[in-house]
Structure 1
Amino acid sequence: MNFDLTQEQQMIKNTIREFADEVVAPGAIERDRTKEFPVEIFKQLADMGIMGLPFPEEYGGAGADTISFAIVTEELSRACASTGITYSAHISLGGAPLNLFGTHEQKQKYLTPICTGESFGAFGLTEPNAGSDAGGTQTTAKEDGNDFVINGSKAFITNASYAKHLALTAITGMEGNKKEISAIIVPTDAEGFTVLDNYEKMGLNASNTTELFLENVRVPQENLLGERGKGFHQFLVTLDGGRIGIGAMAVGIAQAAFEKAKSYAKERKQFGKALSEFQVTQFKLADMALKIELARNMVYKASWLKDQGRPFSKEAAMCKLYASEIAMEVADQAIQIHGGYGYMKEYEVERFMRDAKLLEIGEGTSEVQRMVISRLIG
């Protein structure tokens, strides 16, 4: 068992950490306030070859592994979780299903612009009445000649305002009482396709979260992604990879909260000595460090199993569940260590807590992760 990063992974970590500290972090407070999407940051990441990191070089990717993707997601999220979730969704929800299930022609046409940063990656799964119960999908795609005609709506879709196309799930038929759900690639500029960016969110304010409305949107049947009727299976596979991204995000936010708390505890004097000299603070920081380390190890293990082509659904669920819950806990304790200042935006720890909360909800709630894990250990 080797816990060393490879030379390539270490190089990616060093590069992205420097970029996160110097380019991403300085504007994070302001972006949280103004809700401005960090377009320029992603142009620079595209120039660095990071936007297609784990995808094949023939489609403009860098051919890197999942651990490298987790490292980039963690470091970006440590600086700004809105940037982290944008990147994680771009890769694991936008690019991954195209890479996993697309034909060579589909990858050339749709994956390449994602890898080069010309388009952001997005994935249309969740609906107003179909979140954790994705089988409750109501969007329909009816055949009409050589086309599908799509009607329905999607909710809480990341990056769609900046995506030129996305894969979405729709009912393509019925087998008795059972829905036949398929994945279809849809250009976002298609007639009848509306993307609305109107949500008022608790956190992750500089990320793009949208509603999609499809009214008689017509796409050719060749835009079917993977096998017809396999859309449900495809998004389950996609979410497994996405959960690694959420776990990595959570580790990044927790690391940021821990670093702020540790630094503040050394500077802040109470009763004549630094907070860091009190055992109660030392124990808080020790617990935070312990839980972050365990969460990161779990993220890396799930990533490693995925890279080995081995089953990783259980570990992905575990890393997502544990990392998201400790991110909330660590952010909470960081605020506590800061006292009254922790409640103030300029000290940043309150933002970490607001941003971390989504990670217990998105890509399968904590309750759903426990259902997944219990099924896989049964």
Structure 2
Amino acid sequence: MSIMLSKEDQALYEKALNYGKNVLYPAGLDLEKSSELTRKMFLDMAKNGFCGLGIPKEMGGKGYNYLKSALIYEGLAYGDGMMSFIMQLHNNISMEIATFYEGISEEIKAIVPGLADGTKTTAFALTESVSGCDPSATSSYAELRDDGYHIFGKKDWIANGKDADYYNVMVKDGKDSKNMIMLLVDKGTQGLKFLENRERLIGNGISCGSLEFDNCIVPRDRLLSNNGFKEALIAIDVARVFTPAIAVGIAQRAIDITAEYLSSRVSFGNPIIKNQGVQWELADLSAKIEAARWLVYRTASVMDSGEPVASIAAKNKYFGTEVAMETTVKCAQLFGSEGFMKDSRISKLLYVAKMLQIVDGTTEIQKIVIGRDISRKFLKK
């Protein structure tokens, strides 16, 4: 499969890159300290055309394909990886609500324009502390009664959990059922409670914590899908297209600020970057970043083609985030003592890289998916 970037693709990337460099990067360290500033920046990103990327134009979105969206997230991440992650998280859930589910109610369709322009936000309530990366082990459930679905259970580590206007929730269709369903729950619904906002190494500009559903009642027309497990897997594959794009953006930023720093820092009479050992280190990392970049583009292109994407998406998530982690760790080492400072640029990039290795399925989960795909081709049925 050949991958060619059109002039429109390149223009979208340049637009996101320039916004990242000129708007996101200067505010980067302050964004960690203020949820208000993070929200203000999110709305400014939406105003500048980075919201609603995958939502069809007729529903108020941009109608971009996966490749165009990946290019935008990479460019934004060069400025600030966390803000790029927050935007793609919102866009993914919004796109899924707008396009993934057949037969959704007119009331649900009516909320899509607000999601497309960023005036309303979302959260994806899938993970539970006891089930982790295994959606099939979900214990939360809903009972269908005369007045709607009654939801019981708890979801954990939900990004934007405190502030979202809508929650895309996966639960079992009955306490003892193995079937999963997807429900859309509005903020403020009786029986829905945000339990805590846990401090993290990175990303404290948005809330993240547990959601408790204690006989939370939602109308029947809030049903998104009767096949929640399948929909959850598709949503995870989408994330595994875009998360590595963000990883590439922060890895490239790490290389660039490290090279700039080493060019200005003099040791034993010469800029440190003149040392061959340092140049070789940067060369190794730069080559890996370029390989990760084109794996992102290929994975996005496969997604756009409609071909099966699970295996290559897992490779993409595994390789891209590993490269970002290796790059930021080694660049922090090259920064010396400055790389150990909590308020340094390179340490923030390192924290984001570690987060990206964990979200949307850990590195180990990606290896399981890849390994099973390889073995399936050779094991006897």
Q: TM-score w.r.t. structure 2 length? A: 0.93
Shift in Å, 1:146: 4.3
Q: How does 1:177-256 map to 2 (within 5 A)?
A: 179-226=178-225, 228=226, 230-256=227-253
- Name the CA distance, whole Å, in 2 between partners of 1:153 and 1:183: 15
- When structure 1 is superposed on structure 2, of 313-322 and 35-44 the one drifting more is 35-44
**Contact between 1:46 and 1:117, CA under 8 Å: does it hold in 2?**
yes
Q: How does 1:48-87 map to 2 (within 5 A)?
A: 48-87=48-87
| 2:327 alignment partner, SS class | helix
- Name the CA distance, whole Å, in 2 between partners of 1:37 and 1:93: 22
Aligned residues: 374
**Structure 1 residues 130-167: Cα deviation after superposition (integer angstroms, max 9, x where no partner):** 21122221111011114001111111112233321121
Of 301, 306, 330, the match for 1:304:
301
Query: Where does residue 6 of structure 2 map in the other structure?
Result: 6
Distance 1:75 1:258, change over 3 A: same
- Name the CA distance, whole Å, in 2 between partners of 1:170 and 1:37: 33
- Name the CA distance, whole Å, in 2 between partners of 1:188 and 1:94: 15
**Structure 1 residues 262-303: Cα deviation after superposition (integer angstroms, max 9, x where no partner):** 111211111111111111100111011111111111111110
1:286 maps onto 2:258 in alignment:
no
Query: Where does residue 344 of structure 1 map in the other structure?
Result: 341
Query: Where does residue 144 of structure 1 map in the other structure?
Result: 145
**Contact between 2:14 and 2:75, CA under 8 Å: does it hold in 1?**
no
| 2:46 alignment partner, SS class | helix
- Name the CA distance, whole Å, in 1 between partners of 2:281 and 2:246: 22
Q: Which runs of 4+ in 1 moved over 3 A?
A: 1-4, 33-37
**Contact between 1:83 and 1:206, CA under 8 Å: does it hold in 2?**
no
Q: Over aligned residues, Cα RMSD in angstroms?
A: 1.8
- Name the CA distance, whole Å, in 1 between partners of 2:154 and 2:168: 13
- Name the CA distance, whole Å, in 2 between partners of 1:34 and 1:118: 19
| 1:200 alignment partner, SS class | coil
- Name the CA distance, whole Å, in 2 between partners of 1:88 and 1:247: 12
Shift in Å, 1:320: 0.6
Shift in Å, 1:196: 4.1
- When structure 1 is superposed on structure 2, of 189-198 and 263-272 the one drifting more is 189-198
2:189 partner letter: A
- Name the CA distance, whole Å, in 2 between partners of 1:280 and 1:96: 47
- When structure 1 is superposed on structure 2, of 25-34 and 118-127 the one drifting more is 25-34
Shift in Å, 1:240: 0.3
1:134 partner letter: P
- Name the CA distance, whole Å, in 2 between partners of 1:199 and 1:160: 11
Shift in Å, 1:95: 3.0
1:321 maps onto 2:322 in alignment:
no
2:216 partner letter: V
| 1:324 alignment partner, SS class | helix
Shift in Å, 1:102: 4.5
- Report percent identity of matched pairs: 29
Distance 1:252 1:219, change over 3 A: same
Q: TM-score w.r.t. structure 1 length? A: 0.94
Shift in Å, 1:64: 0.8
1:41 partner letter: M
Query: Where does residue 117 of structure 1 map in the other structure?
Result: 118
Unaligned runs of 5+ in 1: none
- Name the CA distance, whole Å, in 2 between partners of 1:197 and 1:37: 21
**Contact between 1:149 and 1:217, CA under 8 Å: does it hold in 2?**
yes
Query: Where does residue 47 of structure 2 map in the other structure?
Result: 47
- When structure 1 is superposed on structure 2, of 29-38 and 346-355 the one drifting more is 29-38
Shift in Å, 1:81: 2.0
- Name the CA distance, whole Å, in 2 between partners of 1:49 and 1:78: 17
- Name the CA distance, whole Å, in 1 between partners of 2:205 and 2:306: 34
**Structure 1 residues 19-76: Cα deviation after superposition (integer angstroms, max 9, x where no partner):** 1112111111122245655112221222233211121011111111111211222222
**Contact between 1:51 and 1:115, CA under 8 Å: does it hold in 2?**
yes
Distance 1:372 1:178, change over 3 A: farther
Shift in Å, 1:374: 1.4
Shift in Å, 1:323: 0.8
**Contact between 2:3 and 2:297, CA under 8 Å: does it hold in 1?**
no
Query: Where does residue 379 of structure 2 map in the other structure?
Result: none
Shift in Å, 1:343: 1.3
- Name the CA distance, whole Å, in 1 between partners of 2:67 and 2:23: 23
Query: Where does residue 108 of structure 1 map in the other structure?
Result: 109
Distance 1:278 1:203, change over 3 A: same
- Name the CA distance, whole Å, in 2 between partners of 1:100 and 1:368: 24
Q: How does 1:346-361 map to 2 (within 5 A)?
A: 346-361=343-358
**Contact between 1:196 and 1:210, CA under 8 Å: does it hold in 2?**
yes
**Contact between 1:302 and 1:319, CA under 8 Å: does it hold in 2?**
yes
**Contact between 2:52 and 2:94, CA under 8 Å: does it hold in 1?**
no
Query: Where does residue 22 of structure 1 map in the other structure?
Result: 22
- When structure 1 is superposed on structure 2, of 327-336 and 73-82 the one drifting more is 73-82
Shift in Å, 1:261: 0.9
**Contact between 1:56 and 1:62, CA under 8 Å: does it hold in 2?**
yes
Distance 1:84 1:197, change over 3 A: farther
2:119 partner letter: E
**Contact between 2:332 and 2:340, CA under 8 Å: does it hold in 1?**
yes
